[in-house]
Structure 1
């Protein structure tokens, strides 16, 4: 039975392909592929159906499926294009086989459904697996990139670095802050690190605890941590919560923190023609003034 059914499909592949392309074209009006050029859409469909028939002829999954799925992923085509295409192939194939039979009983109809499912389902599963693997890889890379961007350590002057924090701080991000902070201090030979919390909307007990831990870790490796960006409402919250920040310096702005960092590193702003202006501009740019 299986051999006969496959022979019907393979021997009449031109008719089945034509019917499949007609159905795909009909569905195009209702999905995103309507924005794709006719040439690209047609060539992709031809490649798709060739991959399907190649799998049938070789009696199993092929590398062609993997390569085709990878190309579509790179082009940004959704998985629905592939799954819808395979379901259309299933319908067209079943209908064509039935149209070639003079007499169809329940057993024969069930056998056709079963055999076509055996051809189509493994292809769908492989396509889904290819897409899932690609998405997992992309999400993993994006997560790493976001983690790096969420806690950057920026060297602004010899031995002085700044870590601007923006957004909420949870346990996972606090861990990333700690790692970036310690790695950056050693990498840049920082004597002073300015942690700027101007962009942190809420400083509660947990956030303050993480910041204190980070500052203490910096102190243990021989550097000084200055917490800057203490807005009035943040200062009031810290006092109300009874949080002790007396172990390391705090400043209301990045400008004041940078001035303290210069003093700690035995430097100061002096009135020299040209140079004083440059330093003032640097401080203003750091403070966003």
Structure 2
């Protein structure tokens, strides 16, 4: 059967262009999709190249399993990376692979018709198992690789968002402002707890103004994290001053019996800075 596999392999490899042409011809006019027939010549060239790689990868399963695995890994990295870059939904890719599978199997049938006296039903069933199994593995490997790439991208974006959402802004050589804006959930509060002490130490901050005027809601868990943050900073020798604190935040803190008596509070950041204007004027950072 190895010899028959080799003959089929040679036939498929000699018809790679025909397989790709049929696949390209099936594209629809879907706006915004990389698989749309309205896409540029550059995109079409990319699709042709990657479709050829798909066909070669599947064909290699007829020769050697280890060769197929190696090609499958390389194929998944290239195609999944390309689709992630173009933000192509995973269902569009899987649908595209299914179309390739159908076309591919038609060419296997075409070869079988040309050599029907030499190919038994048993051989066809065997080829069906190999080829459909190869496509199944490609789809599974693609989905897994695509997930890893997108998850890594989301993690990087989330880390950037968290970093930008908790800036410690130095206003003098020893004083800094932490402006908090938007909703603070438990995850963001934990990030503040873990990152702000290090940022303050790195910037040699001795007095930190934590401005809450841009925060709409703080639940009990977040209030506790904020309390822990002031205690950690205090242990590091950093004085905390809370500005823009809302009545509901005070009420939540009282209900939780969180003792903020050692922390100076102000109704606004402007009020806090005005009170310390003399000290700030002497310490302002050089322009």
Q: TM-score, normalised by structure 2?
A: 0.77
Deviation at 1:235, TM superposition (A): 4.4
Alignment match, 2:50: 48
How does 1:41-120 map onto structure 2 within 5 Å?
A: 41-55=43-57, 56-57=59-60, 59=64, 60=68, 61-62=70-71, 64-65=74-75, 66-99=77-110, 100-101=112-113, 102=116, 107=122, 110-120=125-135
1:69 and 1:2, CA in 2 relative to 1: closer, same or farther beyond 3 A?
Answer: farther
Unaligned runs of 5+ in 1: 271-277, 280-289
Unaligned runs of 5+ in 2: none
1:5 and 1:95, CA in 2 relative to 1: closer, same or farther beyond 3 A?
Answer: farther
Does the CA-based 8 Å contact 2:20-2:48 persist in structure 1? Answer: no
Q: CA RMSD in A?
A: 3.3
1:208 and 1:128, CA in 2 relative to 1: closer, same or farther beyond 3 A?
Answer: closer
Distance 2:24 2:258 in 1: 64
Which piece of structure 1 moves more, 79-88 or 41-50?
79-88
Distance 2:224 2:134 in 1: 59
Deviation at 1:8, TM superposition (A): 2.8
Answer 1 or 2: higher relative contact order, Cα 8 Å, separation at least 6. Answer: 2
Does the CA-based 8 Å contact 2:175-2:206 persist in structure 1? Answer: yes
Cα deviation digits, residues 78-97 of structure 1 (max 9, x gap):
44454333322221222232
Alignment match, 2:235: 220
Cα deviation digits, residues 49-97 of structure 1 (max 9, x gap):
3212432247413265133443443344444454333322221222232
Alignment match, 2:213: 198
Distance 1:93 1:6 in 2: 16
Q: TM-score, normalised by structure 1?
A: 0.77
Cα deviation digits, residues 231-262 of structure 1 (max 9, x gap):
35544555566654322110000011223445
Runs of 4+ in 1 over 6 A off after TM superposition: 103-106
Distance 1:40 1:165 in 2: 45
Q: How many residues align?
A: 269
SS at match of 1:90: helix
Deviation at 1:39, TM superposition (A): 0.9
